[in-house]
């Protein structure tokens, strides 16, 4: 470990008044505990090899992606988001009928104390990524009839081939959608569906030609799914 990092931590955590170093300690926490698996700055290498070899999703645009309340909770008690982890092809094996997840091969996510989770969430929310990455204000928050949303998601657009809308219902190669509304900012959901590769270069989610009206419906459906989950 580099000596100046040690000095920074011991000073801000144990001796100096926090105000003097406010903002510095959380960033150091991310560097020390998270950077080994997550990109905290935009990587220069955007090759497929990097995408397949990375140990965790990129976090350099976390502030444009996540809801802070969700971050604080999840970092203390991480649940599975990608059913087959990162990268899914390394964690599936052939089953009797179809591929199944090789559970023991999945990474167990570090758990943070409440104080560290709050500090990490604060630091993550400052990482907003490149200008214009997501369309701010794109989501108009119009409700969608759930059966209509389900039909769009499952049938018309084939999203369920890769995403679960409830545990065990849907594909394994993308993040689950049952809690995505709590996890993600609606404008991020909208922007991701519109152009996945603009946000995560080389990602295997297809870019479809979807009208604004349909993007609104799909986004609403995902936001509503999570609200339903909260009431359980």
Residues that bind ligand HEC (CB under 6 A): 33-34, 36-38, 55-57, 71, 75, 80-82, 85-86, 107, 109-110, 112, 120, 157-159, 161-163, 173-175, 180, 184, 189, 192-193, 200, 203-206, 208, 218, 222
Minimum gap (Å) between residue 91 Cβ and ligand HEC? 10
Nearer to ligand HEC, 20 or 47 (CB): 47
CB-count burial class (<10 Å; 0-12, 13-18, 19+) for 157: middle
Determine how β-strand 164-166 pairs with β-strand 92-94. unpaired
17 versus 211: smaller Cβ distance to ligand HEC: 211
For 207, other C-beta atoms within 10 Å of its C-beta total 12
Nearer to ligand HEC, 20 or 110 (CB): 110
- Largest CA-CA distance found in the chain, in angstroms, rounded: 60
Q: Which is nearer to ligand HEC, 164 or 205 (CB)?
A: 205
Give the separation between CA 175 and CA 83, rounded to whole angstroms.
Answer: 7
* Residue nearer to ligand HEC on the CB measure, 55 or 93: 55
Sign of the Cα torsion 142, 145, 150, 155 reads negative
Cite the DSSP H helix spans in 77-179: 114-125, 146-151
Q: What's the min distance (Å) between Cβ of 136 and ligand HEC? A: 16
Strand 169-170 with 99-101, pairing: unpaired
């Amino acid at each position: 470990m580099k000596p100046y990092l040690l000095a920074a931590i011991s000073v801000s955590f144990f001796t100096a008044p926090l105000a003097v170093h406010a903002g510095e300690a959380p960033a150091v926490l991310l560097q020390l505990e998270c950077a080994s698996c997550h990109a905290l700055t935009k990587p220069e290498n955007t090759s497929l090899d990097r995408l397949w070899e990375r140990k965790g999703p990129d976090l350099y645009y976390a502030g444009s992606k996540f809801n802070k309340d969700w971050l604080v909770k999840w970092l203390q008690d991480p649940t599975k988001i990608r059913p087959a982890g990162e990268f899914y092809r390394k964690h599936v094996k052939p089953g009797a009928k179809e591929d199944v997840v090789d559970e023991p091969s999945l990474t167990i996510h570090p758990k943070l104390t409440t104080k560290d989770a709050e500090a990490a969430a604060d630091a993550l929310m400052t990482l907003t990524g490149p200008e214009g990455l997501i369309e701010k204000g794109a989501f108009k928050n119009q409700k969608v009839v759930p059966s209509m949303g389900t039909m769009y998601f499952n049938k018309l657009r084939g999203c369920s081939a890769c995403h679960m809308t409830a545990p065990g219902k849907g594909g394994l190669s993308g993040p689950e959608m049952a809690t995505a509304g709590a996890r993600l900012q609606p404008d991020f959901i909208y922007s991701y569906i519109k152009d996945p590769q603009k946000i995560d270069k080389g990602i295997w989610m297809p870019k479809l030609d979807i009208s604004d009206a349909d993007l609104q419906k799909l986004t609403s459906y995902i936001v509503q799914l999570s609200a339903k989950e909260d009431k359980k």
